[in-house]
Structure 1
Amino acid sequence: RIPFLRGAVPVVYCHHERWDGTGYPRRLKDEEIPLGARIFAVVDAFDAMTFDRPYSVAIPFDAARTEIRRCAGTHFDPAVVETFLSIPESVFEEIRRRSAEP
């Protein structure tokens, strides 16, 4: 109903799909998963791992990177993981700093 958000629907709907087809809600795999959802899945997982949540404590940056790498080809698109892991740590440090500001 909100025209400019129409393109976001597949990203949000499909970001729990897994590269190997074991995700949900539709059990899509590989290129069947919209690219935006494949990117968002990696970003969402990294965010969940590196920031405290009511259900878990944040893990160190390097441990999260290791977990993302381990899940390439099963949970995540390997090409998206490769690109994500090429982002310099300084970028993430700046994001963390800014997110801590009031």
Structure 2
Amino acid sequence: MGNIYRGALLHDIGKISIPDSVLLKKGPLTEDEWKIIRTHPATAYEPLSKVEYLRPSLDIPYCHHERWNGSGYPRGLKGEEIPLAARIFAVVDVYDALISDRPYRKAWSKEETIKYLLKNSGTLFDKRVVKGFLEILRSDS
């Protein structure tokens, strides 16, 4: 469990290399700005992989933007090529991002966010992970 905890804490550490002008932009990102954003998993992985005790935690910072259908980044992993910890964290991270205000948009409702996860279950996200996450979410309500 410590590896998942550390991975979750470090998941966006690579964003320290992203200029604030991109990270905090209020409007839509340009394609060049998206290229910059997509560097943050590798930016995290490179230095952290040199720390032996952190290596087992790096699936989350390195792979949490990979998508079930292979459309994610940084490596375009698909399905079960994506480490389980990263598949789980991807759902948690997207849920948290959507229910939170961002500089470029207002928070979505929990209902809208759940609909988004269900709609993209099996496409962007592992169906089993979405199902389990929603069961936990409903049991906490």
TM-score (norm 1): 0.81
Give the structure 2 partner of residue 47 of structure 1.
Answer: 96
Number of positions where the alignment pairs a residue of Structure 1 with one of Structure 2? 92
- Separation in 2 of the partners of 1:46 and 1:20? 18
CA displacement at 1:8 relative to structure 2: 1.9
SS class of match (1:87): helix
Residue type of the partner of 2:55?
R
- Separation in 2 of the partners of 1:22 and 1:84? 22
Give the structure 2 partner of residue 19 of structure 1.
Answer: 68
1:90–1:5: structure 2 CA closer, same or farther, 3 Å change rule? same
The CA deviation string for residues 49-74 of structure 1, in whole angstroms up to 9 with x for no partner, is: 00111222111111101101111011
Give the structure 1 partner of residue 128 of structure 2.
Answer: 79
The CA deviation string for residues 19-58 of structure 1, in whole angstroms up to 9 with x for no partner, is: 0111111111111000000011100100000011122211
Answering whether residue 109 of structure 2 is matched by residue 60 of structure 1, we say yes
**RMSD of the alignment, in Å?**
1.6
Ranges in structure 1 where 5+ consecutive residues have no aligned partner: 94-102
Residue type of the partner of 2:134?
L
Structure number with greater Rg is 2
Ranges in structure 2 where 5+ consecutive residues have no aligned partner: 1-49
Spell out the pairing of 1:23-34 with structure 2 (5 A cutoff). 23-34=72-83
- Separation in 2 of the partners of 1:64 and 1:36? 21
The CA deviation string for residues 78-101 of structure 1, in whole angstroms up to 9 with x for no partner, is: 00000011124473x6xxxxxxxx
